[in-house]
Amino acid sequence: MPKAANDKKPLSASRTAIAIMAAGKGTRLKSKYPKVLHEAGGKPLLAHVIAAAAQIVPASDIHVIIGHEAELVRKAMADSGVNFVLQQEQRGTGHALMVAQQALAGYDTVIVLSGDAPQITPETIAKLRDFHLAKKAAMTLLTAVLERPTGYGRILRKSAKSDDVRAIVEEKAASPAQKIIREINAGFYAFSVPKLFRNIQKLSTNNAHGEFYLTDMAAIFGKAKERVVAIEANHPHEILGSNTRAELMEIDQHMRLGKCRQLMADGVTIFFPHTCVIDNDVEVAADTVIEPYVQILGKSRIGADCRIRSYSVIRNSEIADGVVVRNGCVIDDSKVEPRAILGPYSHLRPGSEIGEGAHVGNFVETKKVKLGKGSKANHLTYLGDAEVGAGVNIGAGTITCNYDGAKKHTTVIEDGVFVGSDSTLVAPVKIGKGAYVAAASCVTYDVPEDALALGRARQVTKEGWAKAKRQALCKS
Ligand code: UD1
Ligand code: CA
């Protein structure tokens, strides 16, 4: 894992662990899923916090405290390489740390993060740690000054200008005068590990929730004549927690807009960016234009000079330079070569590879398909498990019948083939180079190069038949 540049010096002086509290139920979300697995910016909240922590210490020094739906959380984060500590019963943030005592033995310093506050940055974590070590404090808390501090614990400093903190008072216990305080407890701390565990058993459950509050450690250390200091976060949004769905959406919006701003700074035009959903790992090159109501998700990469029109959803796909994605396309796990034109309303399912300058039009569905350079499938078509060469024209309503009820089979259409409208190509089948398939054919045998395949009933024309029918109907 890469580390923040400024973390080297204090690490050599002390062993630092990061504990992430992630055991809570998230009652206020009214969800059957654990809070830390709810998503913002396209990823679970906890994944953001782990990613930031992993910039500061190796994953093996990250201890995630899990409890509510612990197995779900453990599974979702299994790839991260972090350790898990089980807090079987969730008896408060103080209790979460009590449970982690064994896992933290042997460390000098622990930084405590909240699994539900995903916007924390490695820079701020490093700043908290450095300040803590410089002040030789028992406890250091990160604070922020908020316009609307309601719901957060308030900071009681010894005096306005002092680094030293007297206590943290939770919202429910705060007096009207204390509620006016706008400096709040972010829920991120640094502790001296030996001092924390020498004093943590002094916590009590004598409060509104009947829980062990980690925040009470400030007053406990005060009484024990240990130093408690506070440092403000660089940006207040970094500390925002997501206790409610509304808070979750504020965080999501903030992350998404941040991503759009970064892309715009890199030369991408985004109209009405507040309507677009672009995941963090997405890359877009300069001079591409993204219209309103577009979603670009997962690990998608979009080249330069593309136009992504409204209502398109692109996931884990690679779109090369100069591609036009017209309105309403859905593109999943696919690859599109330069200057191809898609849509409106094309559906590229996984494994679609659309060649340079190719066209895929209205209501065309592709799956596991290679469409060659300059080939066209413009209307109402299904191409599945097919290899289509260059310069091929697929007529409207063409269907590759790739499934026989048990297995999938491949259709091969070589360069320069013309498939007439409303044809069904029953796989496995191969249409040789330059061949023609007559409209409305059902092709069940291979077609050789340059041949014409005609697989339909011959037309019968009965002169005067319709007129005679109408007359008969009038008489009856
Ligand atoms: C906490 C702080 C509050 C601070 C706010 C910042 C306490 C008592 N209060 O309140 O001062 O302003 O964070 O966001 O700490 N958790 C566990 N085990 C438990 C309980 C909670 O792991 O037994 C985890 C939760 O999953 C969550 C984190 O700890 O990730 C914080 O808990 P939460 O209940 O959200 O605390 P707040 O009420 O937000
Ligand atoms: Ca919270």
Q: Tell me: do 228 and 260 sit in the same domain.
A: no
Q: Are residues 233 and 325 in the same domain?
A: no
Same domain as 179, residue 208: yes
Ligand closest to Cα of 205 equals: 1
Q: Are residues 135 and 190 in the same domain?
A: yes
Same domain, 79 and 52: yes
User: Is residue 458, in this structure, part of any structural domain at all?
Assistant: no
CB-hemisphere CA count at 13 Å for 456?
A: 16
> 379 an active-site residue?
yes
Q: What is the CATH number of the domain that holds 419?
A: 2.160.10.10
Does some domain include residue 55? yes
Look up tokens 């060649």; give the residue.
Answer: 355
Q: 426 lies in which domain range?
A: 245-453
Mean pLDDT of 274-292: 97
Collapsing DSSP states into helix, strand and coil, what is residue 201? helix
Q: How many CB atoms lie within 10 A of CB 129?
A: 24
**pLDDT tens string 439-464:** 999 999 999 999 999 999 999 999 99
State the average pLDDT for the chain. 95
CATH number of 132's domain: 3.90.550.10
Q: Is residue 462 part of a domain?
A: no
Q: Which residues make Cβ contacts (< 8 Å) with residue 456, sequence separation at least 6?
A: 438, 439, 440, 441, 442
Q: Which of 181, 211, 239 is the last residue of a domain?
A: 239
Closest ligand to residue 84's CA: 1
The Cα–Cα gap between 75 and 253 comes to 27
Q: Are 19 and 112 in contact (CB under 8 A)?
A: yes
470 assigned to some structural domain: no
242 CA to middle of ligand 2, Å? Answer: 6
For 77-88, the pLDDT digits (tens) are: 999 999 999 999
Examine the fold and report which residue of 239, 270, 288 is the final residue of a domain before the chain moves on: 239
- The Cα–Cα gap between 359 and 378 comes to 6
Our mutation pick for probing the ligand 1 site, out of 93, 216, 239, counting the most ligand atoms within 8 A of Cβ, is 93
For residue 11, is pLDDT > 80? Answer: no
Q: Are both 421 and 319 inside the same structural domain?
A: yes
Within this chain, do residues 260 and 348 fall inside the same structural domain, yes or no? yes
- What pLDDT score does 12 carry? 43
As a whole number of angstroms, the distance between CA 435 and CA 429 comes to 13
pLDDT at site 14: 64
Q: Tell whether 24 and 151 lie within a shared domain.
A: yes
Asked if residue 261 and residue 314 are part of one domain, the reply reads yes
Distances (CA, A) of 158 to 132, 162, 168, 218: 17, 6, 11, 12
End-to-end CA distance of the chain: 87
Looking at ligand 1, which residue's alpha carbon is closest to its atom 20?
92
Report CA torsion sign: 37, 42, 47, 50: negative
CA-closest residue to ligand 1 atom 33 = 24
Q: Which atom of ligand 1 is nearest to the CA of 116?
A: 30
Q: 116 in helix, strand or coil?
A: coil
Confidence band for 6, pLDDT divided at 50, 70 and 90: very low
CA of 186 to the centre of ligand 2 (A): 9
Q: Answer with the residue of higher pLDDT: 4 or 333.
A: 333
pLDDT tier at 289 (50, 70, 90 boundaries)? very high
Q: At what angle do helices 45-53 and 122-135 cross, to 10 degrees?
A: 50
Residue 71, CA distances (Å) to 77, 253, 260, 472 in order: 10, 29, 34, 76
- Here the tokens at position 448 are 């050789």
8 Å CB contact between 65 and 113: no
191, two tokens: 């502790």
Q: Tens digit of pLDDT for each residue in 204-221?
A: 999 999 999 999 999 999
Ligand 1 center to 279 CA (angstroms): 27
CA of 417 to the centre of ligand 2 (A): 62
Provide mean pLDDT across the span 154-160.
94
Tell me how many domains the chain contains: 2
Query: Residue 38 falls within a domain, yes or no?
Result: yes
Query: Tens of pLDDT along 222-259?
Result: 999 999 999 999 899 999 989 899 999 999 999 999 99
pLDDT over 80 at 8, yes or no: no
Task: Please give the average per-residue pLDDT across 272-294, as a whole number.
Answer: 97
For residue 158, the Cα-to-chain-centroid distance in whole angstroms is 42
User: Looking at residues 302-329, what average pLDDT do you find?
Assistant: 98
Pocket test of ligand 1: the residue of 99, 114, 206 to mutate, having most ligand atoms within 8 Å of its CB, is 114
Examine the domain organization and report whether 124 and 159 are in the same domain: yes
Question: What span, in angstroms and rounded, lies between the C-alpha atoms of 222 and 220?
Answer: 5
Q: How confident is the model at residue 49 (pLDDT cuts 50, 70, 90)?
A: very high
Backbone φ, ψ for residue 12 (5° rounding):
-65, -25
> Are residues 203 and 65 located together in one domain of the fold?
yes
Question: ∠ at Cα 234 (92, 113), nearest 5°?
Answer: 25
**Per-residue pLDDT at 13 exceeds 60:** no
From 412, 413, 418, select the one nearest 436 (Cα to Cα).
418
Ligand 1 atom closest to residue 92's alpha carbon, by position in its atom list: 23
Task: Reply yes or no on whether the pLDDT at 10 is more than 80.
Answer: no
Q: Which of 237, 254, 379, 409 is catalytic?
A: 379
- Which protein residues are within 6 Å of ligand 1, measured from CB? 21-24, 35-36, 65, 67, 87, 90-93, 95-96, 114-117, 152-153, 168, 170, 184-187, 213-215, 241, 243
Torsion of CA 84, 89, 92, 93, to 10 degrees: -10
Q: Could you tell me which of 416, 330, 421 has the C-alpha nearest to residue 374?
A: 416
Distance 147 CA to ligand 1 centre (A): 20
Judged by its nearest atom, the ligand closest to the C-alpha of residue 35 is 1
